[in-house]
Structure 1
Amino acid sequence: MRRTRIAAYVTSLLFAATAVLTGAATAQAAGTGYVALGDSYSSGVGAGSYDSASGSCKRSTKAYPALWAASHSPASFNFVACSGAVTGDVLNNQLGPLNSSTGLVSISIGGNDAGFADVMTTCVLYSESTCVNRVNQARAYVTSTLPAKLDAVYQAIKAKAPSARVVVLGYPRFYQLDGSCIAGLSETERSAINGAADLLDNTIAGRVSAAGLTFGDVRTTFTGHEICSGSSWLHSVNWTNIGESYHPTATGQSSGYLPVLTSKA
């Protein structure tokens, strides 16, 4: 009788252990898909090698989401980031692939909401004072209006992909001050633009933290590789392909963005 009880006890322990292990394996397997959301910094504008099927979204095989997927082989990969996207575009057009089996989501968003393309156009074409005024308008938007828009995006992602690790990537500073550039914008303009980029990143980071998500700060990896550094991972003004201006190069994607996602995923 005693041996029978011991055998039954051991059997029950083994059964429980098997259930735990099987459950753990099931849980790990449940969240293995990767969905890449966001704007042109995530789609890979500036990196070249665009997927013709992506049209004006300009998704690049050299963008950090494609590079991460190629090296990690997720069970599924949905690359829906799109050039020009604002927070509303993410909410209306990009959330479809998210579900309970999504294990990783990456996103960069907010720069277009703040009008940074118009900021850079204004600064390149007009006076220093006009540039600084436009930067200050963008700063006011980032402070007053953008936080609620970011909150809406992050909450929607969490609702549709409750098991996913969500990594929100920020933006690099554009310029190395007192750098190698001998023409172009003034140091006052470059400093104002960098300051606005910092405000944008810090605002994003704050909302990411409030949502319980993970922020990836690419300012660290891009330090020393801004425009005017002599080793830039960002395009300056490209008059022959204006859409690539102020976007990461292929090296900016592989050495600036990819390591940050990899460390946070």
Structure 2
Amino acid sequence: MIPKITVGKFLPCLAVSALALPLLAIATPAEAATGPTASVSMGDSYISGEAGRWMGNSDTTSGSRSGTDRSWTGSSYNPSKIYGATYASGCDRSDSAEVRDASGIAQTQINLACSGAVTANIFQAADGGQSFKGEAPQADQLAAVAAKNNVKVITLSIGGNDLGFSDVIQSCVKDYLIWDSYCHDDEQAAIDSQMDTAMAGVGKSIDEIRAVMSADGYAAGSYRVILQSYPSPIPRSSEMRYPESGWTRETTGGCPFWDADADWARDTMVPEISDRLAAVAADKGAQFLDLRDVFQGREVCSTSTRLATPSAAPSATTSEWTRFVDAGMTTQGTIQESMHPNYYGQLALGRCLTLLYAQPTGDYACDNTPGKDSSGMYLTAK
């Protein structure tokens, strides 16, 4: 056993604050039908655009970070270029968020998702919904959007924070850094204890969305609800490019996880959550987008990817598509960006949504083509 040491490392956190958004005047159904068509995203950090600031990852700590930091102005960093006003709030709705990258769906794209949200932040306030850091519940925001626009599709990513996903990451990273034990046994038990309640919350979220749309005069068949699952940000152990021993997973790659914990997260936890979300979608009549394998070979520390360096620029075909666990006494960006789809990953998710919208019915999994950028995304029927 190697003795515990002090490491300049943070633990990821998904909890964030949010800005209040003004509600728009409620229009009549007739007025709503004449508004611009809209694609709306709702939910948590995996759809809000968290980590959209980053084009791959690099251990370079200054300047543009080898071209990976999109907030670099040439003399300083301005994350508001990427996240707008929501950088100050912590919702981190990026300019590359999935809903904004999906093409050919609607005339306008509206992102209501906020990093850190749980299912209770989706429900209408009248039905027990909770404001999130001063922002109205997302269903109440949807009511205003649906009244002013002709909403064609609502894409929802929710449930991960109800399951304590950030706690899982923190526990697994901590256990690796102190070389103490594996995290997966305890975390599996914790997820199991929360799963039924979390999935009930996801189901109620869909019910709340439908209730809002009905109240705004939308017929059931005039719009679509898509529920999506979560991608794995790390690969299984056999596909890790850094050894389990030593400190390179922590100091270089930003993937401080034991092999056993990586295997559990990639091949047990993520598929289990995806299967349960698929069951909720089927029960509620929502279309399901399975993202469990969408970043296969593009995860942090995958043998199929590399870090950007001063002599090797980031690339959608060679860089990682998820944000690494940031290292050092001073992080490159913000803690909450870790383990989320980055700019390249969000372009890929947007392409997945575009492809799914072209399928009027049915559930699909989205995958990538090795060696290609987001243009290589494709669907497989479930």
TM-score, with normalisation over the residues of structure 1? Answer: 0.81
In structure 1, how many angstroms separate the alpha carbons of the residues matched to 2:108 and 2:342? 26
One-letter amino acid matched to 1:154? I
Structure that is richer in helix per residue: 1
In structure 2, how many angstroms separate the alpha carbons of the residues matched to 1:214 and 1:81? 19
In structure 1, how many angstroms separate the alpha carbons of the residues matched to 2:345 and 2:297? 12
1:60 is aligned to: 94
1:247 is aligned to: 340
Change (3 A) 1:199 1:67: same
One-letter amino acid matched to 1:64? E
Q: How many residues get paired?
A: 237
Change (3 A) 1:73 1:219: closer
1:190 is aligned to: 262
Q: More deviation in 34-43 or 99-108?
A: 99-108
In structure 1, how many angstroms separate the alpha carbons of the residues matched to 2:227 and 2:180? 32
State yes or no: 1:146 paired with 2:198.
Answer: yes
Q: Shift in Å at residue 236 of structure 1?
A: 2.1
Equivalent residues in 2 for 1:41-80, closer than 5 Å? 41-48=46-53, 49-53=82-86, 55-68=89-102, 71-72=103-104, 74-80=106-112
Q: Shift in Å at residue 260 of structure 1?
A: 1.8
Structure 2: unaligned runs, 5 residues or longer = 1-32, 54-81, 124-128, 130-136, 214-219, 244-248, 250-255, 306-319, 358-382
State yes or no: 1:201 paired with 2:265.
Answer: no
Change (3 A) 1:157 1:191: same
Change (3 A) 1:31 1:51: closer
SS at match of 1:145: helix
1:24 is aligned to: none
2:173 is aligned to: 124
One-letter amino acid matched to 1:103? K
In structure 2, how many angstroms separate the alpha carbons of the residues matched to 1:114 and 1:50? 26
> Does structure 2 conserve the Cα–Cα contact (< 8 Å) formed by 1:37 and 1:106?
yes
Change (3 A) 1:128 1:166: farther
1:211 is aligned to: 284
One-letter amino acid matched to 1:87? T
2:139 is aligned to: 95
State yes or no: 1:85 paired with 2:144.
Answer: no
In structure 2, how many angstroms separate the alpha carbons of the residues matched to 1:188 and 1:35? 38
One-letter amino acid matched to 1:38? G
What's the CA shift string for 1:207-238, capped at 9, x where partnerless?
01111111111234312212232422112211
Equivalent residues in 2 for 1:28-43, closer than 5 Å? 32-43=37-48
One-letter amino acid matched to 2:324? S
SS at match of 1:58: coil
User: Which of 200, 223, 227 in structure 1 is aligned with 2:300?
Assistant: 227
Q: Shift in Å at residue 51 of structure 1?
A: 1.5
What's the CA shift string for 1:40-67, capped at 9, x where partnerless?
1111111121122462111000111122
Q: Shift in Å at residue 171 of structure 1?
A: 0.7
Q: Shift in Å at residue 175 of structure 1?
A: 2.4
Q: Shift in Å at residue 128 of structure 1?
A: 6.1
User: Root-mean-square deviation (CA), in Å?
Assistant: 2.4
1:8 is aligned to: none
2:73 is aligned to: none
Equivalent residues in 2 for 1:102-117, closer than 5 Å? 102-117=151-166
2:326 is aligned to: 238
One-letter amino acid matched to 1:160? V
In structure 2, how many angstroms separate the alpha carbons of the residues matched to 1:261 and 1:29? 25
1:261 is aligned to: 353
One-letter amino acid matched to 1:32? T
What's the CA shift string for 1:29-48, capped at 9, x where partnerless?
78932221010111111112
> Does structure 1 conserve the Cα–Cα contact (< 8 Å) formed by 2:164 and 2:191?
no
Q: Identity, % of aligned pairs?
A: 29
User: Which of 204, 210, 221 in structure 2 is aligned with 1:158?
Assistant: 210
One-letter amino acid matched to 2:191? R
Q: Which has the larger radius of gyration?
A: 1
One-letter amino acid matched to 2:351? P
